[in-house]
Amino acid sequence: MPTSRPSTALLAPDNDVSWLRDAFAKVQTNLRSQMELASQSISHAGTMGSVNEEHWLDIFRSYLPNRYDVASGIVIDSVGGRSDQIDVVVFDRHFTPTLLDQKNHRYIPAEAVYAMFECKPTIDKAYIEYAQEKAASVRRMHRTSVSIAHAGGVYKPKEPFRILAGLLAPRAGWADGLGESLRRNLGTEDISKLDCGCALEHGSFDFHDGELLVATEQGALIFFLFRLLSRLQSLGTVPAIDWAAYSRIIRA
């Protein structure tokens, strides 16, 4: 009795990752095309920025696990602090609800924030400085943390982690792409330093433990997403928010 032949997929060598690289390359090409279309067809800079921001939000929502929520919003804290509008906020929605939602506008408690990103036309000195200011303003916000009761006792309050920050753009603004110019302009202040970024036409970068890793244009998006997933994984869960601290705003 004749036996069926194994599929081509089963015959592929175990170390053949080209299919995955090619698949993400197509996603990246599609994202670049969408942003190019926006730049060519939308004359109002603010509207074009909002459209490209939505494209980035869609990518995050497609590839981040369900434990993370992604939105544009304003970060707030329990002592009245309030950030400017942040283009992309990666935050916990399982333990920490957003507040005063109005359609796509959200107020996100600082305790819930894992990461934040600015979406700009290019990665260059001016936009890096802009994103650094946003990062510092959110990282300085007051974050509460309380103990959590469980069946075996009580978990101690978790020390809030350093919020990740980055910059997203269709391209880099320097002649050397994400080369030495990027390294010179990333800054050294931990409170404002950017951790990662993606310029679809020129590559992506991840700065971690004192080492700057840069991917080429062909692998920009897949490198950025996988490195971001690794960084988010290392943070664990957000601290348990002290809702009593927020209630004191009402009594003030």
The answer to whether the CB of 64 falls within 8 A of the CB of 164 is no
Rounded Cα gap, residues 241 and 130, in angstroms:
29
Question: CATH for 19-251, among 3.40.91, 1.10.260, 3.40.30, 3.30.70?
Answer: 3.40.91
Q: Looking at 77, 120, 206, 217, which residue is catalytic?
A: 120
The answer to whether the CB of 84 falls within 8 A of the CB of 251 is no
120 is catalytic: yes
The answer to whether the CB of 89 falls within 8 A of the CB of 96 is no
249 pairs with which residues across the strands?
A: none
Q: How confident is the model at residue 173 (pLDDT cuts 50, 70, 90)?
A: very high
Q: Looking at 53, 77, 118, 206, which residue is catalytic?
A: 118
87 is catalytic: yes
Domain limits, the chain: 19-251
- How large a percentage of the chain has pLDDT more than 70? 76
- Reduced to 3 states, what is the DSSP secondary structure of residue 78? coil
Q: Looking at 53, 87, 124, 195, which residue is catalytic?
A: 87
Helix/strand/coil (H/E/C) assignment for every residue in 149-195: EECCEEECCCCCCCCEEEEEECEECCCCCCCHHHHHHCCCCCCCCCC
pLDDT in tens, 94-134: 777 666 666 666 889 999 999 999 999 999 999 999 999 99
